[in-house]
Structure 1
Amino acid sequence: MLEVVELSWRVGDIAIVDGVSLRLDRGEFLGVIGPNGAGKTSLFNLITGSRRASAGRVLLDGTDISGLATHRRAQLGLGRTFQASSVFGALSVRENVRLGVQAKLGGSFRLWRRAGSFREVTERADQHLATVGLSGRGDALAGTLAHGEKRKLEIALLLAGEPTVMLLDEPMAGVASEDVPDLVEVIRGLTRHTGAAVLMVEHHMDVILGLADRLAVMHHGSLLACDTPEAVMANPTVQEAYLGEAL
């Protein structure tokens, strides 16, 4: 579903991302780990188009999307969440997801349209809220949600775009420890509910080891290893790169 070929981003003589190649198959969960400053979020920015790559290509389901703007990549099925929580706090939880559904359906902001289409938008929004465990929170203002609930809402917004590839950038960041297991189960269900491929950056090693089919390890902008979690954690080069870091 996603192929990254020799992707690089250089700023002057400094390589922020240096010749990274990855492949992500349908329904696969690939975790991206690495010490702080390894280039993980920068890699996401290159894949989604929010940063222009210095070299390399990004292919989505076999189509080269390297030259496309971020919104065009999203329209083709590339969805993303961010490290910092981002929802419309003054809108209800349901209204947040409705906006995502309307954007996906297209033409949803026209004044004259069939009344049934409004029901369709609401029904789809409620389905996505049910998937992330927020069925009873649809009428609450998004700004009043606990941080863990906001993370779930962001995933519901992601689902509203019906992506075939989902990029999750540190979804556990700032989430209270007691809320982590519930959020992990929501994320675990993404491939099951949608069949999408998932690429996730995460610093909580117990979380990523429990979710990922494979792990990609980045260090100083380069791909250090990409293999099963067991093989990666036993890799002496990976262990050396993490020396002084919490594994």
Structure 2
Amino acid sequence: MATYIVGDIQGCYDELRQLLSLANFDQSADELWVAGDLVARGPKSLQTLRYLKELGAKVILGNHDLHLLATSIGIHKPKVKDQISPILDAEDSHVLLTWLRQQPLLLEHPEHKFIMVHAGILPSWSIQQAKKLAQEVEQELHGDNYKALLKNMYGNHPTQWEETLSGIERTRYIINVFTRMRYCTLKGELEFENKLAPEQTDSSKLKPWFEITPRDHQQPILFGHWAALLGKTNQPDLYALDTGCVWGNSLTMIRWQDKKLFSLSCPAYG
């Protein structure tokens, strides 16, 4: 059995199926892990959700997935560019959205021990702390009061982690780290405006989250979210899998056993 991990699909269903075919993915034997942002911007988010649910794929939530859940309960109106209306109008919408809401923010592979998140892990957090904090939010999201969480998760503050954070400020910060983070200031504050590649950014002011402090490499981390990286982190055991399929670049997947990369060129949808 092989383990495949793919970056942000964003509703690019046809490209996903083509990439799996390219890799000779065996649906009956192999496992697929998805690093968040299953939906939005691509043309077939509904088909993507149905396929991943039926497949039993291991998925985590990205910012677009959380936004879909918030939109589904009326917190926001659907945006045309997100192309999620077919999900909201589908006969199996409730089943799909309930399944999506039950997915985690962080996954650890039981055998290979890699960690998969959508955006990243705060430099000051240990892996154990990150797992615990992810579970805090997951319990809220999976519980009866999930609508309050979805309503109040939007916003850029607080920008600095304090263990004493509580309530929605604590929840929002944890969500922002796992689903939105790219850069941090040199003081470790989250910064959300800059989406450019590191070589286009003033490193005296901002650094990628994974360059703020040295990482211990006891566990590999796989993440998506940051298309401008184009898969480059220049760090061992740190795998950036969002290579901008929806923006006309490519969809990228790694086979964990031999670290072989599979890539498929994509048309621009975003």
Q: Relative to total residues, which structure has the larger helix share, 1 or 2?
A: 1
TM-score (norm 2): 0.33
Q: TM-score scaled to structure 1, two decimals? A: 0.34
Q: Which fold has the larger relative contact order, with Cα–Cα distance below 8 Å and residues 6 or more apart in sequence?
A: 1
Larger radius of gyration: 1
